[in-house]
Amino acid sequence: MRFTIFAHGSRTGWLVLALLVLLIMLPLAAVVLQVLLPGFFFGSRQIGDLSLLGEMFRRPLWYLSLKNTLVLGLGTTALGTVLGAALATARSRWSFPGARLLDGAVWLLIVTPSFILAQGWVMFASSDGLAESWFGWHWVHDAVFTPAGLIAVMSLSKFPFAYLAVYSALEWKMDRLGEAGRLNGGTAWTVWRTIEAPLLLPAYCSGALLVFMDTVGDFGLPASIAAVFRFPTLPYSIYSALYTSPIRFDMAGVLSFYLVVLIALAMSVQFWALRRARFDFLGGRATRAKAERPRKGALLLASGNLLLLAIAVGIPLGANLLTSVTRPGKSGSSAFTLEHYRELFVEGGQLTDALLHSLSIAAFAAIVGLFVGLLVAYVLTYSKFKLKRAIDVISLVSLAVPGVVLGIGYIFIWNQAWLERIGLLLYGKPAILVLAGVAGAIPVITRIVTGAMAKVPQGLLSAAQMQGASFSRRVRTILLPLLRDALLSAALAAFGASVFDLAMTSILFPPNFMTLPVVINKAFEDLDFGYAAAATLTGGTAVVALILVMERIFKPKEARRPSR
Amino acid sequence: MNLMQHRKLAALAIVGLSLTAAGCGNANNNNSGAAAATASDSAAPSSAAASPSESASASPSESASASTPAGNGETLTVYLNDFDTIVKPMFEAQTGYKLNIVSGNGAEIMSRIEAEKGNPHWDVVWMDAMPSIEGLGKAGQLMEGWEPTAAAGLTDFAKAFVPANKAYYPTGAHAAGVIVYNTKAFSAANAPKSWADLADAKYKGTVGMADPAVAAPAYPFVSWFFQDKGSEGGQTFFDDVLKNGAHVYPKNPNVAKALTGGEIKVAALQESNAYTLKNDGEPIEIVWPEEGAPASVRVAAIQKNSAHQDAAKAFVEFLLDPKTQQALIDEGDESYFQPSATGVTMKADRAQNAKLVAADASWASEHEAEIKQWFADRSVK
């Protein structure tokens, strides 16, 4: 780190850029190159067929995929962000019975992969599902398996992204701004609308963007519901192009291209919304947010919260739970059994190994991702690095690109014969999963940390620099304490998401090095719902337990709220 | 305070790293006891030899059994989509070679092979996807011109599938689709009897089939109609079937589930799935149409540049051995198929009049992309 080729402030910038290019852009470029020059990585040099780009609007399947993706993405972004932001605001302002449940549920939803949630909904709402057989609700099937129903299902599983972004931004607040508004006769609503909400715009935006990107890139939901309802989306069609023979890298590339365009559009909307504004409103009088008892309506809050959680978490996970402990008998009856759980551990430790693999990869990815993500956020927020915008775009792109595509890119890059000579042929080795995990962790972490960092004024750091504090000391003594919660949330979110990353691991898992999501998904494919549900719950429980332990260890004592 | 934070961070880092080390270490030196595995798991107990260039020394391998002079304990990597649990112990005991099996569904395996084109990690591929493997041969990935000794014992039906360049050998064939109907919905007299019946208004909205873009056996099924009736005839046929409200499911198990769940009453279903339903006591009946059931042929091929040619050849010989095929039928998971070796007895309850028909592999391979694309676009309308 001690070379002087680059301007002083740009060193970190170049380091970050190099890391991001290696982990994200290079594999992605490989996929694009494959569209332009099919066979480039296999030693042939021929120009590809670019007319495919126009096929998007001619081929019924593609056009429908694009339309579905847009409808689902926009709908979920609107509903999910409103839901997440409202919950985060209520949670940080008021204490009410059951608030702790919301914290747990948010994590649970984050670590639960969409394909598991979607499968839970399928088990609940399909024509011979639990809603039908236990409650006799015939309407559920027709309500859920429509675009609007899927938007609702998706919002209920993606709102935690918006929740976390907003909640961590509410950690420190300037009460005086709001108090000034109230003194001048504004109602609480007016104050929120005209003072608090505009100041939190970056957090809302990064929350909305996270929800949008996670939704349009989501592969789990369309894949799971495909069994009962045809709803092709871009990621699903990309997967279909890769998982068919002859494999169509060119088509996957074209569809990925459109997906990336969608994300780029969403990002420009965000840039436009935040243009020329400053949001570094924290000052010396900032106080840590403390939830207080509302004067009235605590009961309403509590019951609303419970109802929401019952639907968002109760239905999909409850369906999994029921499926994992019942054995469908003849004639629609079911018997209680623990046999699915027994199966998990009798067969030579298949699940134990897979779980250990996934946990260790995710832990490593979260730690390395935290380091890189913090640097990325720092460069984005404070540095004058001239390629700042590129860094932002890259960190977002990796969220935008479905793991399936990035996974294929990783194969192109890391499976070239010449790497064997220098010992870097990582394809087919566990190391590639670690790399992919880090790539997947960076964007999540960057988004959450950037949202929180936006509130720390440059002045604080400049002042320290004037006193002669080194870069590492400035980060250590100013940024880390102020961002501690956000960093913890970010690392744990990345960890949880990484454990269950199905798309990447199913493409990249080395022979006989199974990961948890692969084991679960294979069981689903074989329609062995009981085994899959039992494996899901076992794995999920392990992850949640780890996260709670980490929160316990690293949460600053004054931030721990009295549990209710 | 600062010191505390440092300690915690350090502790976290150590925990993470040790976990990682444990995970990776596991890959390299655990031999989790060769336990019997179910159909839902596909990894055999690990040996980390991922690429053929690594020898078996990467894992602490037990010495090859002394009774078998042929093998020298080298590791052969086989990509397959069925029978992973049964062939490994048999082959290892018979030959003294080690098997590293990579199993997945057909599409997964083909993706892996495609992705590894520049640097293949496999020695043998053994799957019921003849057109796709024919395509690998056209791309110059397969060893050609070698004839196994056991090829002399192939049935006439199977011999017809051996290509002129001898790039792959059939180990069996099964119906990619037979007609299955719900006996509670239709009497034997009312039930569909021929493929044309799937477009009959009598079965409107009650027919299901698997998606050729996703399910491995569904393409051999669809392609036969396209070759048999000509491209336009094939399109017309499936147009009529789809217009008749047919449901397309990703895979055969989904079709089977829709059948038991009551969403559909009639299906074109892969035969092992069909017989499994019947043996489970579901109210269904299986019809083998007179014009024949389109076959999915399982073939084995050797990678051209495999570093383990002797072991690979031994494996293909092993697959063509009547004893092996009999064991697959008696104990395997996809046990309803017509064997390729003479002197093998089929499952007793498999229809004796089962007539299999198959599209020409080279033709099917050539038209694979366009037929799948046409079907995908047509079925979303």
A428, A50 Cβ separation under 8 angstroms = no
The secondary structure element, H or E, covering residue A328 is strand A326-328
Residue B44: DSSP 8-state: P
A57 touches B: beta carbon within 8 Å: no
B300, B316 Cβ separation under 8 angstroms = yes
In whole angstroms, give the CA distance from residue A471 to residue A229.
54
Count CB-CB contacts under 10 A for residue A120: 28
> Following DSSP, what letter does each residue of A146-179 receive, concatenated?
SHHHHHHHHHHHHHHHHHHHHHHHTSEE-HHHHH
Residue B41 has its nearest CB partner, among A416, A519, A553, at A519
Mapping DSSP onto H, E and C, the string for B67-80 reads CCCCCCCCEEEEEE
B326, B159 Cβ separation under 8 angstroms = no
> CA nearest B130: which of B165, B168, B86?
B168
* B7: exposed, middle or buried (Cβ count in 10 Å: 0-12, 13-18, 19+): exposed
What integer best gives the mean pLDDT of chain A?
81
Q: Mean pLDDT over residues A83-111, rounded?
A: 84
From A506, which residue of chain B is nearest by alpha-carbon distance?
Answer: B108
Give φ, ψ of A283 to 5 degrees. Answer: -130, -170
In whole angstroms, give the CA distance from residue A451 to residue A203.
5
CB contact under 8 A, A246 and B111: no
A181 touches B: beta carbon within 8 Å: no
Which ranges in A21-146 belong to alpha helices (H)?
26-36, 52-55, 60-93, 99-111, 114-125, 130, 139-144
Report chain B residues whose CB lies below 8 A from the CB of A346.
35
Alpha carbon of B204: minimum distance to chain A alpha carbons (Å): 18
> Following DSSP, what letter does each residue of B162-220 receive, concatenated?
S-TT--EEEEEEEES-EEEEETTT--TTTS--SGGGGG-GGGTT-EEEE-TTT-TTHHH
Count CB-CB contacts under 10 A for residue A67: 14
Q: Between residues 71 and 110 of chain A, which touch chain B (CB distance below 8 Å)?
A: none
* B375: exposed, middle or buried (Cβ count in 10 Å: 0-12, 13-18, 19+): buried
In whole angstroms, give the CA distance from residue B255 to residue A559.
53
Angle (CA) B104 B347 B192, round 5°? 85
Residue A348 has its nearest CB partner, among B24, B35, B131, at B35
> CA nearest A159: which of A221, A92, A79, A103?
A79
Q: Which of A233 and A278 is assigned the larger pLDDT?
A: A233
Highest mean pLDDT: which range of A261-265, A319-323, B132-136: B132-136
Identify the pLDDT of residue A564: 40
Report chain B residues whose CB lies below 8 A from the CB of A240.
213-214, 376
pLDDT single digits (tens) A205-260: 888 988 998 888 888 888 778 767 788 888 888 877 877 777 777 777 788 778 87
* Residue tagged 């039930």 (tokens): B191
A334 touches B: beta carbon within 8 Å: no
Of the listed ranges A4-8, A80-84, A490-494, the one predicted with least confidence: A4-8
Report chain B residues whose CB lies below 8 A from the CB of A514.
41-43
A86, A102 Cβ separation under 8 angstroms = no
A527 to A156, A248, A533, B30: CA distances (angstroms): 25, 27, 11, 29
Q: How large a percentage of chain A has pLDDT more than 70?
A: 87
CB contact under 8 A, B118 and A415: yes
Report chain B residues whose CB lies below 8 A from the CB of A415.
115-116, 118-119
Q: Does the pLDDT of residue B337 top 90, yes or no?
A: yes
In whole angstroms, give the CA distance from residue A420 to residue A440.
25
pLDDT single digits (tens) B173-219: 999 999 999 999 999 999 999 999 999 999 999 999 998 887 888 99
In whole angstroms, give the CA distance from residue B191 to residue B73.
55
Report chain B residues whose CB lies below 8 A from the CB of A330.
281
B97, B71 Cβ separation under 8 angstroms = yes
From B375, which residue of chain A is nearest by alpha-carbon distance?
Answer: A61
> CA nearest B98: which of B76, B79, B83?
B76
Residue B297: DSSP 8-state: E
Angle (CA) B82 B83 B87, round 5°? 140
A480 touches B: beta carbon within 8 Å: yes
Report chain B residues whose CB lies below 8 A from the CB of A242.
111
pLDDT single digits (tens) A149-189: 999 999 999 999 899 888 888 877 767 787 788 888 888 88
In whole angstroms, give the CA distance from residue A71 to residue A149.
12
Identify the pLDDT of residue A31: 76
Q: Does the pLDDT of residue A13 top 50, yes or no?
A: yes
In whole angstroms, give the CA distance from residue A400 to residue A494.
15
Identify the pLDDT of residue B111: 78
Best mutation target among B20, B29, B211 (most A Cβ atoms within 10 Å) is B20
SS3 A499: helix
In whole angstroms, give the CA distance from residue A256 to residue A237.
10
* Residue tagged 């300037």 (tokens): A174
Identify the pLDDT of residue A413: 86
> CA nearest A85: which of A11, A1, A165, A185?
A165
B267 to A546, B11, B201, B255, B278: CA distances (angstroms): 46, 58, 15, 7, 13
> CA nearest A363: which of B365, B14, B330, B287?
B14
Token pair of B279, please?
Answer: 């043996």
Query: Number of residue pairs across A and B with CB atoms under 8 Å?
Result: 201
> CA nearest A118: which of A238, A228, A239?
A228
Q: Which of A348 and B63 is assigned the larger pLDDT?
A: A348
Residue A127: DSSP 8-state: T
CB contact under 8 A, B40 and A356: no
Q: Does the pLDDT of residue B137 top 60, yes or no?
A: yes
CB contact under 8 A, A420 and B115: no
Show Cβ contacts of residue A268 under 8 Å, excluding neighbours closer than 6 positions. none
Q: Does the pLDDT of residue B11 top 50, yes or no?
A: no
What integer best gives the mean pLDDT of chain B?
82
In whole angstroms, give the CA distance from residue A530 to residue A536.
10
Q: Mean pLDDT over residues B88-106, rounded?
A: 89
Encode burial over A241-257: b for 16+ CB neighbours within 10 A, e otherwise: bbbbbbbbbbbbbbbbb
The secondary structure element, H or E, covering residue B284 is strand B284-287
Of the listed ranges A56-60, A320-324, B2-6, the one predicted with least confidence: B2-6
Identify the pLDDT of residue A328: 67
A380, A443 Cβ separation under 8 angstroms = no
Residue B264, Ramachandran bin (φ over 0: left; ψ between -120 and 50: alpha; else beta): beta
In whole angstroms, give the CA distance from residue A252 to residue A336.
44
Of the listed ranges A409-423, A447-461, B342-356, the one predicted with least confidence: A409-423
Cis preceding linkage at A457, omega within 30: no
Q: Between residues 412 and 471 of chain A, which touch chain B (CB distance below 8 Å)?
A: 412, 415-417, 420, 425, 427-431, 434
Q: Does the pLDDT of residue A514 top 70, yes or no?
A: yes
Q: Mean pLDDT over residues B18-30, rounded?
A: 39
pLDDT single digits (tens) A409-437: 887 788 777 887 787 888 878 889 999 99
Alpha carbon of A186: minimum distance to chain B alpha carbons (Å): 41
Report chain B residues whose CB lies below 8 A from the CB of A59.
373, 377
Highest mean pLDDT: which range of A2-6, A13-17, A522-526: A13-17
A544 touches B: beta carbon within 8 Å: no
Residues in chain B: 381
Q: Look up residue A94 and give its amino acid.
A: W
* Residue tagged 């980390």 (tokens): B48
Best mutation target among B8, B12, B40 (most A Cβ atoms within 10 Å) is B40
Give φ, ψ of A529 to 5 degrees. Answer: -60, -40
A356 touches B: beta carbon within 8 Å: yes
A59 touches B: beta carbon within 8 Å: yes
B164, B302 Cβ separation under 8 angstroms = no
Residue A360 has its nearest CB partner, among B22, B100, B135, at B22
Quote the longest CA-to-CA distance of chain A: 78
CB contact under 8 A, A353 and B36: no
What sign does the CA torsion over A112, A118, A119, A120 have?
positive
A77 to A165, A267, A389, B35, B172: CA distances (angstroms): 14, 13, 24, 47, 51
Token pair of A151, please?
Answer: 């938007």
Best mutation target among A61, A63, A127, A244 (most B Cβ atoms within 10 Å) is A244
Q: Which of B225 and A53 is assigned the larger pLDDT?
A: B225
Q: Look up residue B241 and give its amino acid.
A: V
What sign does the CA torsion over B216, B221, B227, B231 have?
negative
Q: Mean pLDDT over residues B118-126, rounded?
A: 90
The secondary structure element, H or E, covering residue B175 is strand B168-175
First to last CA, chain B: 64
pTM, full prediction: 0.75
A492 touches B: beta carbon within 8 Å: no
Alpha carbon of A512: minimum distance to chain B alpha carbons (Å): 5
> CA nearest A255: which of A270, A239, A268?
A239
